[in-house]
C-alpha cells in the first residue's frame, strides 16, 4: 500500500516564502468612508490631473460604494454635452465589473435596470456614446464571462436594448434619432470593423441580440416594457441566490399597486426600416452561417409578422403575442423599397454566396409581403383578388398537365 506524504503547514509556509515578493500587491482604494457615514464618491474634479476615478469605485467589492458611485456618475454624465471616448471606456469597464460583483438575481435585475435607465438622463450625443461603448465593452469582455455569470450579462443586454428602444419612443421615433441609433448598432454591436470577420469571439453576443431585438421592440411599441424588480416581500422563502442583500418590490404588508394600462407607442414604417438596416448590412458582410439563420428568422421574419396584411392581422393565433406585433409597422411602399435594395445589394460582384443567398431570400419575403400589404390597403378587395388569381395561375403552370386516359386513346385510334 502506497502512503501519501502530506506536507505540514510549516513546510508549506517555507515553500511559499520565496513567492511573496514576485507579485506586486494590488493598490487599495483609499476609502473616505467613516464608520456610520455614507460613502462620498470621488469625481474627476476631485481627482484632478485628468484622471477618472469612477472605474475603480464602480468595480469595488462593497455594494454601498458601488451604489453611491453610480448615483454620482449619473449626475456627472447628465451635466455634460460631450465626454471623451477614453473616459467612457473606463467608466464602462467599471460598470461591467459592477455587474460582475452583483450577487443574487434581484440585485442583478436592479442594477441592469439602473444601468439601462441612465441613458434617459443624458444628452443625445452622450447617450449615443454611452450606448455604443456598452456594446464595445460587451464584445471585448464576452469571451471572459464564465458560465456561472453568463445569465446576468444576458439579462443586462436585454434590458439595455429595451431602454435604447424606449429612448427612441420617448422622442416619438424621430427620424434623426432612430437613424443615429441604427448607426450606433452598426458601428458598435454588429459590424464594428466594417467587414465580416470569420472567427470573432463575440458571435454569441450578436446571436443573443438577434434573439431579443424584435421581442423588446414589440414590448416598447405596445407599452409593455415596464418590469417589476426584486423579490416579493410576502413570500418569505423566495430565493435570491443566497445573496447577502435582498431587493424587494415594495415594503412588507404594503398593498400591491395596480399596474397601469399599457399605452402603445407604435413604431412607424420609417423607424422600423432604419432599425432593420444594421441587420441587412450584417447579412451583406457576415460569414457565420448560424448567425445568418438567426437574423433571418428571429429579426426579419418576426418583423414581417406584424407588417400590414401580415399574419398578425390575418391569422393572429399563429403569431406569438400578435397584439404587440402589430405595433411594429411596415407598409407596402416601405417593404417594396426594401425588397429592391436587398436584390440590388445581393447582385453586387463582391457579395459572397452565403450573403447573396440570404439577401435574395429577404427580397422574396419582402416582395410577397408588400403585395399582401397593398392588397390589404386596397379595401375593396380587387387588388387582393388579382394577387390571389395571379398566384393560382402560377401554381397551375407548375403542375404537370394530366395524361389522357387509356380508353380515350383507344377511341381516337378507332376513329382514325
pLDDT for position 192: 77
Distance CA 45, CA 154 (A): 34
CB neighbours of residue 211 within 10 Å: 16
Choose between 223 and 399: higher pLDDT: 223
pLDDT for position 408: 45
Query: Is there a contact between 216 and 225 (Cβ–Cβ < 8 Å)?
Result: yes
CB neighbours of residue 246 within 10 Å: 14
Q: What region, left, alpha or beta, does residue 60 occupy, with left being phi > 0 and alpha being psi -120 to 50 degrees? A: beta
Distance CA 360, CA 366 (A): 10
Distance CA 46, CA 51 (A): 9
Distance CA 215, CA 292 (A): 18
Q: Where are the beta strands (DSSP E) in 277-317?
A: none
pLDDT for position 240: 54
Distance CA 200, CA 281 (A): 17
pLDDT for position 401: 52
Q: How many residues does the chain have?
A: 416
Q: Let me know if 243 is exposed, middle or buried by CB neighbors in 10 A (0-12, 13-18, 19+).
A: middle
Q: What is the mean pLDDT of residues 366-389?
A: 72
**Given pLDDT bands bounded at 50, 70 and 90, which one contains residue 157?**
very high
pLDDT reading at 410 higher than 50: no
**Given pLDDT bands bounded at 50, 70 and 90, which one contains residue 414?**
very low
Choose between 40 and 385: higher pLDDT: 40
Query: Is there a contact between 133 and 88 (Cβ–Cβ < 8 Å)?
Result: yes
Sign of CA dihedral 159, 165, 167, 170: negative
pLDDT for position 226: 86
**Given pLDDT bands bounded at 50, 70 and 90, which one contains residue 25?**
very low
**Given pLDDT bands bounded at 50, 70 and 90, which one contains residue 97?**
very high
Q: Tell me the pLDDT tens digit for each residue of 114-144.
A: 999 999 999 999 999 999 999 999 999 998 9
Amino acid at each position: 500500500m502506497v502512503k501519501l506524504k502530506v506536507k505540514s503547514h510549516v513546510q508549506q509556509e517555507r515553500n511559499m516564502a520565496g513567492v511573496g515578493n514576485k507579485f506586486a500587491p494590488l493598490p487599495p482604494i483609499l476609502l473616505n468612508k467613516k464608520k456610520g457615514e455614507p460613502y462620498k464618491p470621488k469625481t474627476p474634479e476631485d481627482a484632478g490631473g485628468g484622471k477618472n476615478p469612477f472605474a475603480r469605485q464602480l468595480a469595488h467589492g462593497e455594494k454601498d460604494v458601488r451604489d453611491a458611485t453610480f448615483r454620482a456618475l449619473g449626475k456627472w454624465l447628465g451635466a455634460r454635452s460631450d465626454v471623451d471616448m477614453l473616459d467612457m471606456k473606463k467608466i464602462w469597464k467599471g460598470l461591467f465589473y459592477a455587474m460582475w460583483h452583483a450577487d443574487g438575481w434581484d440585485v442583478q435585475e436592479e442594477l441592469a435596470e439602473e444601468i439601462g435607465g441612465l441613458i434617459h438622463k443624458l444628452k443625445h450625443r452622450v447617450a449615443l456614446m454611452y450606448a455604443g461603448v456598452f456594446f464595445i465593452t460587451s464584445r471585448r469582455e464576452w469571451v471572459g464571462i464564465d458560465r456561472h455569470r453568463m445569465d446576468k450579462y444576458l439579462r443586462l443586454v436585454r434590458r439595455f436594448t429595451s431602454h435604447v428602444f424606449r429612448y427612441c419612443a420617448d422622442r416619438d421615433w424621430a427620424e434623426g434619432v432612430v437613424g443615429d441609433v441604427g448607426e450606433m448598432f452598426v458601428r458598435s454591436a454588429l459590424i464594428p470593423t466594417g467587414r465580416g470577420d470569420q472567427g470573432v469571439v463575440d458571435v454569441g453576443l450578436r446571436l443573443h441580440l438577434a434573439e431579443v431585438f424584435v421581442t423588446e421592440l414589440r414590448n416598447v411599441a405596445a407599452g409593455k416594457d415596464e418590469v417589476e424588480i426584486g423579490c416579493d416581500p410576502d413570500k418569505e422563502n423566495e430565493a435570491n441566490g443566497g445573496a447577502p442583500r435582498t431587493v424587494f418590490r415594495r415594503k412588507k404588508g404594503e398593498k400591491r399597486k395596480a399596474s397601469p394600462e399599457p399605452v402603445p407607442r407604435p413604431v412607424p414604417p420609417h423607424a422600423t426600416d432604419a432599425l432593420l438596416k444594421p441587420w441587412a448590412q450584417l447579412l451583406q458582410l457576415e460569414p457565420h452561417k448560424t448567425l445568418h439563420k438567426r437574423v433571418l428568422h428571429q429579426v426579419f421574419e418576426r418583423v414581417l409578422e406584424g407588417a400590414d396584411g401580415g399574419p398578425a392581422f390575418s391569422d393572429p393565433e399563429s403569431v406569438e403575442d400578435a397584439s404587440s406585433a402589430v405595433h411594429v409597422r411596415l407598409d407596402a411602399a416601405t417593404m417594396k423599397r426594401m425588397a429592391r435594395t436587398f436584390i440590388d445589394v445581393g447582385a453586387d460582384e463582391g457579395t459572397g454566396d452565403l450573403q447573396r443567398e440570404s439577401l435574395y431570400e429577404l427580397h422574396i419575403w419582402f416582395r410577397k409581403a408588400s403585395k399582401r400589404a397593398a392588397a390589404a390597403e386596397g379595401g375593396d378587395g380587387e387588388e387582393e383578388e388579382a394577387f390571389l388569381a395571379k398566384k393560382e395561375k402560377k401554381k397551375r403552370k407548375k403542375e404537370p398537365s394530366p395524361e389522357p386516359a387509356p380508353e380515350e386513346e383507344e377511341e381516337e385510334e378507332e376513329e382514325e
